[in-house]
Amino acid sequence: MSDLFDSAILEFNLGNFKKALALFGQVLEAEPQNITALIKKGNILGKYAKYQDAIVCYDTALGIEPKNSLALINKGLALHYLERYNDAISCYDRILQDKPKSALVLYNKASSLVRNNQTSQGLEILTQAIDVDFSCKYKARSDADFEGIQKTNEFKRIVL
């Protein structure tokens, strides 16, 4: 089984996602609780915009390991792409309980808040993300999630 898993990881890392998806499927038939395989399968499904299917993988992983940050952040992203912003924010909040200074999670939460028309809260969280990792400032400038507020003085004050 280890060889099959290693092959799946190799194909994933090489960008051969269809082949990796099939291999992770085989791994999960033999080891349905393999958290890494579940998360990687979810990642691939997300790349193909099959967000609902990806969420099933992440939920299965979270059923085994409820505080798995990787499953939570990826589930949050999938929910964000489905425009289920409140659910995405809930995923990010669960991670922030244990990792309050995670710039990536703070940034993603800010994106979901802004998309959910909670702009002032989103900008507050974006400021926190920038305080942790200055590169978030540059990322936000060209991020489509912030496109609707890029011309506002509040946004400019934070990222320029």
- Report, as an integer, the average pLDDT of 12-26: 98
In a 13 Å sphere around the CA of 142, the CA atoms on its Cβ side amount to: 3
Residues 134 and 7: their CA atoms lie apart, in Å, by 37
- pLDDT tens-place string over residues 77-103: 999 999 999 999 999 999 999 999 999
Residues 113 and 158: their CA atoms lie apart, in Å, by 16
- pLDDT tens-place string over residues 115-160: 999 999 999 999 999 999 999 999 999 999 999 999 999 999 999 9
pTM of the model: 0.94
Domain spanning 1-82: CATH superfamily: Tetratricopeptide repeat domain (1.25.40.10)
- pLDDT tens-place string over residues 120-132: 999 999 999 999 9
pLDDT band, very low/low/confident/very high, at 1 (cuts 50, 70, 90):
low
List CB contacts of 7: < 8 A, sequence separation 6 or more. Answer: 23
Per CATH, the number for 85-160 is 1.25.40.10
Residue 95 has a CB neighbour count (10 Å cut-off) of 23
pLDDT band, very low/low/confident/very high, at 2 (cuts 50, 70, 90):
confident
Residue closest to 43 by CA, chosen among 71, 19, 22, 14: 71
- Residue spans of the domains in the chain: they are 1-82, 85-160
Q: Average model confidence (pLDDT) for the chain?
A: 97
Q: Please give the share of the chain, as a percent, with pLDDT higher than 70.
A: 99
Residue 71, pLDDT > 90, answer: yes
What's the confidence (pLDDT) of residue 89?
99
What's the confidence (pLDDT) of residue 101?
97
- pLDDT tens-place string over residues 44-62: 999 999 999 999 999 999 9
